Structure 1
Amino acid sequence: MLAERFGTSRRHITRLFRAQTGLSIAEFHHNMRIALARRMLTDTDLPVGEIAFRVGFESGSALSRAMRRTDGNSPSGIRRAMAHSVKN
């Protein structure tokens, strides 16, 4: 979609993106989804399953697995840490 939008080949846009960000387009997209989920976990009271759906995961457990793989934290762990920091 990006290659078409910018009138270049998929391979070229992929190389340009990696050169500028150090990440593939898919890695960048994944990181953005995780960051948005993390923000929603700390800023809202939405259930984990709803947050997962809103950021493009199939379920709360899929989001949880992705977050654990990315930084070792679970959605409930992030919420607990946020609640603990608010209390202190």
Structure 2
Amino acid sequence: MFSEQITSAVEKATGLRVRTHQFRHAAAVLILKREPGNYEFVRGTLGHKSLKTTTKFYIGLESFTATERFGEMVDTHLDGEE
């Protein structure tokens, strides 16, 4: 199976056993970090039929990014750069 070949190749190269499903999760994290709230992009990338499936699993991932962006807004306001 192709997924086992990928897992074996990564393990051989890095010593880490990473399953292909973990790459799917990583893709979702990267997308939502760059584009918080863009679940449609995640849905399309992962091939989910339903947006509901995507949001059920990934709704909280962009919380950290949202907090970072809010911090940047506060810093900008405090610096008087609005």
Instruction: Name 1:52's counterpart in structure 2.
Output: 39
Instruction: Name 2:30's counterpart in structure 1.
Output: 35
Structure with more helix by fraction: 1
Instruction: Name 1:85's counterpart in structure 2.
Output: 72
- When Rg is computed on C-alpha atoms for both structures, the one with the higher figure is 2
Unmatched tracts of structure 2, length 5 or more:
44-50, 76-82
TM-score (structure 2 length as normaliser): 0.53
C-alpha distance 15-61 of structure 1, shift in aligned 2 (>3 A):
same
RMSD (CA atoms): 2.8
Q: How many residues align?
A: 65
Are 2:55 and 1:64 aligned?
no
The answer to whether the Cα contact below 8 Å between 2:33 and 2:65 also exists between their aligned partners in 1 is yes
Instruction: Name 1:44's counterpart in structure 2.
Output: none
Q: Which runs of at least 4 in structure 1 moved beyond 4 Å after TM superposition?
A: none
Over the matched positions of the two proteins, sequence identity in percent amounts to 14
TM-score (structure 1 length as normaliser): 0.51
- Give the drift of 1:37: 1.0
Q: Give the structure, 1 or 2, with the largest relative contact order (CA under 8 Å, sep 6 or more).
A: 2
Instruction: Name 1:19's counterpart in structure 2.
Output: 12
- Give the drift of 1:59: 4.2
2:34 partner amino acid = R
